[in-house]
Amino acid sequence: MKFLELLAWFAGLAGFGLLVTGVAMLSVPTAFIVAGVSLLLWSYLADKAAAGPAPAHDGGG
């Protein structure tokens, strides 16, 4: 893993933690909802990235 990829991963993790912590200061149940939705979105994006690019369609029949 390249340094920039590792740095981006840690920045995303820190941003997620700060977002959930900030929401928890307002309402703990809402923080759990935000955390759950964020983790679902993260897993969807990670799954798409792991699948690789879609094959190119040549337009033929």
Cα–Cα distance measured from residue 44 to residue 16, given in angstroms and rounded to the nearest whole number: 16
Tell me what pLDDT residue 25 has.
Answer: 97
Distance between CA atoms of 8 and 27, rounded to whole angstroms?
A: 28
The predicted-structure confidence for 11-54, as pLDDT tens digits, reads as follows 989 999 999 999 999 999 999 999 999 999 988 888 888 887 77
CB contact at 8 A, 23 and 31: yes
| Long-range pairs of 36-45 with CB within 8 A, sequence gap ≥ 24 | 42/16
Q: How many CB atoms lie within 10 A of CB 18?
A: 10
Per-residue confidence at 60, pLDDT binned at 50, 70, 90?
Answer: low
